[in-house]
């Protein structure tokens, strides 16, 4: 009778290890699908970046137009205002991109690693 609880415990450990392995595989699949979705979003971001480049060019030419229009009376003021505006906007965008990139990591990476460790501890 003493062998029966040992076999039951071994079976339960094996079942738990199998369930954790299945869960790990599902999480890895979910991670891959999420990465594919992020790649699609990346394509959208490329289009948005191009739109921002063209918008920036338009604003630059508008700034040049207004500077030329004000050339006789306030040319230095116009140049200083537009330079300050564009540099401040660029700094804000760099800060936002840096803040965003700090939070990007492999999706569910920590959970997958924890499940891998759990599976290994149950096997031993």
What is the per-residue pLDDT for 15?
Answer: 86
Could you count the other beta carbons within 10 Å of the beta carbon of residue 59?
14
Question: Domain residue spans in the chain?
Answer: 3-123
Low-confidence ranges of the chain (pLDDT < 70): 1-3, 103-111
Q: Which helix (H) or strand (E) holds 2?
A: none
What's the pTM? 0.46
């Amino acid at each position: 009778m003493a062998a029966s609880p040992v076999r039951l415990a071994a079976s339960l450990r094996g079942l738990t290890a199998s369930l954790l392995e299945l869960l790990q595989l599902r999480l890895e699949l979910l991670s891959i699908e999420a990465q594919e979705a992020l790649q699609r979003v990346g394509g959208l971001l490329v289009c948005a970046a191009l739109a921002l480049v063209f918008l920036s060019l338009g604003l630059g030419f508008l700034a040049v137009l207004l500077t030329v229009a004000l050339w006789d009376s306030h040319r230095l003021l116009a140049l200083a205002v537009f330079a300050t505006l564009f540099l401040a906007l660029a700094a804000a965008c760099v800060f936002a991109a840096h803040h965003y990139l700090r939070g990007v990591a492999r999706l569910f990476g920590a959970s997958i690693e924890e499940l891998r460790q759990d599976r290994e501890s149950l096997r031993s």
